[in-house]
Homo-oligomer: A and B are copies of this chain.
């Protein structure tokens, strides 16, 4: 962990090393991934089965790739009632939030001779990638599938590698609760390729979302354009802004909840109180020792943990806006007063009783958030990601008459006579 003063010399340079920890290393795997994509594209199921056998040690016929109703029934039987209730609450709350994001189609009628509008249409089919193994999180399923369902997507197809064949029961239960239509036991670049181009068994989708390792991320980048994708996620981060109020143990726990994710995660506290800063530093050390994932959390905290003392809250906010953190906690007395000043952040956790973990699971907003400073221009995953818009334009002959000369003039400026003719032919 680094303990920095925002006004010390070289502060920015020291911090930049943290920001750039995620600089992409995808180019070396690009060749491998390209081969996998072109094999699945040209040989379909045959290639998909080969890779699944090789990478996931799963030997089966194409039909065996799909999770069956019996698999789902078994999964439901394995899940504790209280866990089921918790997952149901999460689905319900996340759905309620995302319902508010739905946009309506509209058409303007203020100029009856020239009506314009926008049609909002759900995507027909989407694919959701869920990682296998340790990072197989039911909350990821919920956060990807629920917005798609709320958007009205026709078919939601989930893929999840099942090394050795057994799927995570909580993931299957979450999929069913969230409205996923079909689940396939495939993963890696081959799963992304199958969703992008379709095989005899796996349907071609219009968009692929969800987290994954470097092979999955590279495959998503390479099929982008053939299908839509969500943002490419980098390592995760939290920034806590504090004004000296609150409880150091709480803030330490929040910093560690980020650090336990992976060794590249970054946890940053910026506070106006040196006393508070020191108390948090001590608390982190104390709490680290009792964490089951101490190894990961300690590595992350040592490499990319930072505590910064700022001169005042305005300085802290301006620093945060420069960083554009994925998760931003406003652990201050009056968080609503400073909310309007926050220009760049994925999700903003307000006040002393809103730990980041609340938003990870069931507050309602999506936990798929822009990382690595991309909150400057990316937004959280939302219902908008699962619809597309079409413009609507309707001219009557009178409407075209009214503005036709101007259209013809601009077409003329651009040297596009056929454009001009398509209008002038309809005038007079």
Given A86-B410, A123-B376, A407-B358, the answer on whether A421 and B225 have CB atoms closer than 8 Å is: no
CB of B250 within 8 A of CB of A426, answer: yes
C-beta contact mask, A313-342 vs B, less than 8 Å → 1, else 0?
Answer: 000000000000000100000011001001
CB of A347 within 8 A of CB of B393, answer: yes
Contacts of A354 in B (CB 8 A): 393-395, 400
Q: Answer yes or no: A406 CB below 8 A from chain B CBs.
A: yes
- Complex CA gap A293/B416 in Å reads 8
Contacts of A392 in B (CB 8 A): 339, 347-348, 350, 365
Contacts of A384 in B (CB 8 A): 384
CB of A89 within 8 A of CB of B360, answer: no
Q: Answer yes or no: A191 CB below 8 A from chain B CBs.
A: no
Q: Answer yes or no: A361 CB below 8 A from chain B CBs.
A: yes
Tell me which of A89, A108, A353 has the highest count of chain B C-beta atoms within 10 A of its own C-beta. A353
CB of A90 within 8 A of CB of B406, answer: yes
Chain B: minimal CB distance from A367 (Å): 9
Chain B: minimal CB distance from A263 (Å): 14
- Complex CA gap A414/B362 in Å reads 14
CB of B418 within 8 A of CB of A257, answer: yes
Chain B: minimal CB distance from A362 (Å): 6
Q: What bracket does the count of chain A residues touching chain B fall in?
A: 35 or more
Q: Answer yes or no: A138 CB below 8 A from chain B CBs.
A: yes
Contacts of A328 in B (CB 8 A): 390
- Complex CA gap A356/B407 in Å reads 11
CB of A417 within 8 A of CB of B106, answer: no
| A94-134, CB < 8 A from B | 97, 100-101, 103, 106, 108, 114-116, 118-119, 121, 123-124, 134
Q: Answer yes or no: A345 CB below 8 A from chain B CBs.
A: yes
CB of B393 within 8 A of CB of A348, answer: yes
CB of B391 within 8 A of CB of A346, answer: yes
Contacts of A259 in B (CB 8 A): 418
Binding site for B on A (CB under 8 A): 24, 82-83, 85-87, 89-90, 93, 97, 100-101, 103, 106, 108, 114-116, 118-119, 121, 123-124, 134, 137-139, 170, 206-207, 225, 227-228, 232, 249-250, 253-254, 256-257, 259-261, 287, 291-293, 297, 328, 335-336, 339, 342-366, 369-370, 374-380, 382, 384, 388-397, 399-400, 403, 405-407, 409-411, 413-423, 425-426
